[in-house]
Structure 1
């Protein structure tokens, strides 16, 4: 009698991995960068390598003047964010989405596919936002390459991929809607700032922008935590992941807000601020 070998832990893991991929939304599995997390992780690794190597490469070079590029980029992102906010709002409103409990519509109806499409566009926009980091490196603004900046840009894509792969719509629409709205204000601020010092007097609302960013994370956390305890046909695992991620961003943005706007500055710091 032939004795069957027990599968190794790696073989079992591979089987679970394949099943996990097959359990994704069949409607969108052939869309760009959706089916497998491997290309996603490779892109994230390339991003982290650039964050590490970029400042070293630019160390002995002059900063690149990107004024025109920054103006065009930031106002393009304003338009893209505004469009995504409109699509999230329209698709959820027309489909009579509930703010408290909204399962995913996996049908091929026009509204269901419209929501899936804007979820995909939101996900792809996070790759475009890698440009924020590239511009910092090329302009030698290395002080902007904070842990918060790199952490947020490198992890948001994987979170978006998970949501898009398995739940393109439903409860997850709230994250895209709020984030798109905040990014309209954020990229508007940076678009105006790109014009130079003459715009400074119109940019007094910077700390309100950070407050708005914090508010979105609080709302996302409340929205997802509520659904962890509600009887709603939406994966608790994804709600838990989003909740933990939002809490980590609340902690990091609160730390940034305190050190940027609340913590008393030393005399040397005040001198530096006046020189800038």
Structure 2
């Protein structure tokens, strides 16, 4: 018998996992894989790349960033359309029964791949940090930035592993992809430099819509907590419980970055 720490990093997840996603690329096996990837992300962006850039000038990444941001707009727009199309005009959010893991309808299996693609785009988000380091924009690599970019891919893996068809998961997908379309549109335009940035008056609203996202998902999660039937409460609390934490972190960032600035003017 495997030692308990090893078991909970490996075989445990296949035993409790959704059989429909067990064989999806990088989903199979234990949580150690995703934890290793996120550890590598932190090592590269906080140690290796900063050491590389220490005695170098900031790179000009304008073209690369524009291409990257445009690609992310297209990817998230596609995922948003798919997510909206699988919400049955919002009726799925009124179903508080734990989704049937034996449902292998064509529509369900197709949407599982859409959710897997959504998870992949959260890894692409990690390039945000790489660009910050290469441009020597260290002030933008805040605790909020690192925590958000590190935790979301793990939560997405957890949702794929346990039950990706849960309405709370799909609600997050709808909100998050829409926000990323807006956000990466802003970044694509901002990559042209000060000549364009002065017209982007709506920057502060990027943070505000993310706060609204966590308020919506957190409120729905609270309703679901009291009305649900059949949900595994341990993993439900782990996943949904991140919403108030993200809400607090983003609200604090908004308050420090924009509200104080407006009062000082």
- Superposition TM-score, scaled by structure 1 size: 0.87
Query: How far apart are residue 237 of structure 1 and its match?
Result: 2.6
Indicate if the aligned counterparts of 1:100 and 1:227 stay in contact, CA closer than 8 A. no
- Once the two structures are TM-superposed, the CA of residue 38 in structure 1 deviates from its matched residue by 1.6
Between the aligned partners of 2:211 and 2:199, the Cα distance in structure 1 is: 22
Shift of residue 18, structure 1, vs aligned partner: 2.3
Aligned residue runs from structure 1 range 1-276, under 5 A? 11-12=3-4, 14=6, 18-35=11-28, 36-53=30-47, 54-93=49-88, 97-99=92-94, 101=96, 103-106=98-101, 107-171=103-167, 172-264=169-261
* Equivalent pair of 2:79/2:177 in contact (CA under 8 Å): yes
CA shift in 2, pair 1:240/1:75, >3 Å: same
> Aligned to 1:202, what secondary structure does the other structure show?
coil
* Alpha-carbon shift at residue 110 of structure 1 (Å): 1.3
CA deviation vs aligned residue, 1:64-100 (integer Å, no higher than 9, x gap): 1111111110011011111111111112228952345
Q: In structure 1, how many angstroms separate the alpha carbons of the residues matched to 2:217 and 2:231?
A: 15
Q: Distance in 1 between matches of 2:88 and 2:195?
A: 41
SS at structure 2 position matched to 1:263: helix
Distance 1:62 1:174 in 2: 43
Say if 1:224 and 1:242, in contact at 8 Å, map to a contact too.
no
8 A Cα contact 2:98 2:228, kept in partner: no
Q: How many matched pairs?
A: 260
**Contact 1:64–1:138, Cα closer than 8 Å, also in 2:** yes
**1:203-234, Cα deviation, whole Å (9 max, x unpaired):** 10011111101000000101111111113333
* CA distance 1:264–1:79, change in 2 (3 Å): closer
Structure 2 CA distance for aligned equivalents of residues 11 and 197 of structure 1: 57
Contact 1:227 1:236 in 2 (8 A): no
CA contact (8 A) 1:105 1:170 kept: no
Other structure's SS at 1:195 match: coil
Indicate how the Cα distance of structure 1 residues 266 and 257 shifts in structure 2: closer, same or farther if over 3 A, else same: closer
Greater than 4 Å deviation, 4+ residue runs: 12-17, 264-267
- Change in Cα spacing, 1:13 to 1:137, as seen in structure 2 (3 Å) is closer
Structure 1, unaligned stretches of length 5 or more? 1-6, 271-276
Give 1:25 shift.
1.6
Residues 101 and 232 in structure 1, CA contact (< 8 A), matched pair in contact too? yes
**How big is the shift at 1:126?**
1.0
| TM-score, structure 2 normalization | 0.90
